[in-house]
Structure 1
Amino acid sequence: FWGSKIITAATEAVIPFLNERSLYQFQWGFRKQGRSLEDFMVWAKQELRPILKRMLELAAKDDILRPQASYGYWKAAGDGNDLVLFEEDGTTEAARFTLPRQMREDGDCIADFVRDINDPQRDVVGLQVVTVGQKASDIARDWFEENRYQDYLYLHGLSVEIAEAMAEYTHKRIRAELGFAAEDARDMDTLLQQNYRGSRYSFGYPACPRLEDQHPILALLGAERIGVSLTDGDQLHPEQSTSALVILNKRAKYFTI
C-alpha cells in the first residue's frame, strides 16, 4: 500500500524486541563492575529480570504502556544530497530532506541509498513514528512526586525501551511486507545489532541531524492519530516516542559524518 496505516500492539508482542542490555545498563544504571558482558547478562537475568517482570505486570494491571505506530510507504528518489518523497503518481513531490554527506571521496549520504531522480523507476522508502503514549510519562511523574524514586526510574527506563522495541517491531513489519524478512538474523540479540537488510535512521543523529525534518514525516503519517506531535523545540511528544526513515538498500547502514 501507499501512504500510512495505524497499528496497535499488545505489550506482550513487543517484549521480544526489548533490548535488555540497554534497559539494565543505560536506562536503569546497573554497571558491569568488572564483569564481562556475558557474565553481567547472566547476573542480570537472575537479579534484574524479576524487577522487569514486576514492572511489566504493574504496567499491564494499570494499562500504563500503550504501544502504537503509524507507518507506511512512499515513492522516493535521490537528488544529489536530497532525499525526495513523492505521491503515488511518482512525480508530485510530497517532501524533500537535505541530508549531510561524509567529507571524503565517495562519502555516504542517505540519499545515495535510493534510485537517482533521473531514473525512470521510483524507489520506495518507509516512514514510521511510534509511541507508548502519554500515560507512561504521567504515571512516572506522579511516582516521582510521591517519592517513589526507584519505581519512577524503573518505569521511565522501561517505557523508553518499550518505545524502542515498538520501533523494532514496526521496522520488522516493514521488512516483512516488502519481502526482506528472510534476510533477518534469526537470533533476536543478533537482530537487534542491526543484522537485517537496510537501516532505520532516526532524526537527531549524524546521518539525519535536523529535528525539524520530523514535521513533514509526522504530517505524512498523520501522527496526531496516535497522539504524537512536536514541541516548539522539535522534540517528540509524548517523550517516549521515536520517528524514522526506513531505507531498504542493503548498503544502508549507520555511518558518522
Structure 2
Amino acid sequence: DYLGGFAVTIHGADELAKKFSAEHDDYNAIMTKALADRLAEAFAEYLHKEARIAWGFGRDENLSHADLLREKYRGIRPAAGYPACPDHAEKRTLFDLLEAEKKIDIKLTESFAMHPGASVSGLYFSHPDAKYFGVGQIARDQVTDYAARTGETIAAVEKRLAPNLGYEN
C-alpha cells in the first residue's frame, strides 16, 4: 500500500488579478483567478496520476477525461479542511513534511489558508478500497483526546473544528 503527500501552487495569478482589478477589469480578474485555480487542481490530478503509475497500478489505467472527473481511478486524494479531514491545521504537518514553503514558496496563513490562493495540497491513498467519507459530528471526548495529542487547548481545537462539533461549546 502507498501514501503520498503533495502541494502545488500557481504563482503570479494573484498579482495579475490585482492588476486587472486596479484597471476596473473585473472580468479578466475573475477569469485569471478561475484559470489559476483550475490549473492548480489539474496539476494535483496529474501528480496523482503519476503517483499511481510510479506505484505500479496506474500504468494500465485507460481512463477517459469523464472517468477522471468521476474519480474512477484507484485510491483517493483527500485534503485537510474537507469532510474526511476537517482540521485545516493538518496542512502544517503536511507542509513541514514536504518542505513546501521552502521548495515551492507556498505559505500558510494563521488560519491555514494557502497563499498563493491558487494552491492545492493533500494526501494520496492508494488502497483499492479507499473511499471518501465525512468525519461527521465530533464528540467532546474526541476533542479532549485530540487536544491532548496535539498539545493544544481544548478551546483552540473547538474553535477550529466548530462546524463539526456534536455539542455546544
TM-score, normalization by structure 1: 0.50
Query: Partners of 2:75 and 2:25 in 1: how far apart?
Result: 41
Shift >3 Å, 4+ stretches? 182-185
1:146 and 2:23 correspond: yes
Partner of 2:127: 249
Query: Partners of 2:132 and 2:2 in 1: how far apart?
Result: 19
Contact 1:185 1:196 in 2 (8 A): no
SS in 2 for 1:181: coil
SS in 1 for 2:89: helix
Bigger Cα Rg: 1
Higher strand share: 1
Q: What is the root-mean-square deviation of aligned Cα atoms in Å? A: 1.3
Query: Partners of 1:141 and 1:196 in 2: how far apart?
Result: 37
Q: Which has the higher contact order (CA 8 A, sep 6+)?
A: 2
Contact 2:76 2:131 in 1 (8 A): yes
1:166 to 43, 52, 67: 43
Partner of 1:189: 66
Partner of 2:107: 229
Partner of 1:198: 75
SS in 2 for 1:199: coil
Higher helix share: 2
Contact 1:183 1:197 in 2 (8 A): no
Query: Partners of 1:169 and 1:140 in 2: how far apart?
Result: 25
5+ unaligned residues in a row in structure 2: which ranges? 137-169
Deviations 1:34-77 (A, max 9, x none): xxxxxxxxxxxxxxxxxxxxxxxxxxxxxxxxxxxxxxxxxxxx
TM-score, normalization by structure 2: 0.75
5+ unaligned residues in a row in structure 1: which ranges? 1-122
> What pairs with 1:107-186 in structure 2 (closer than 5 Å)?
123-133=1-11, 135-182=12-59, 184-186=61-63
Query: Partners of 1:167 and 1:240 in 2: how far apart?
Result: 11
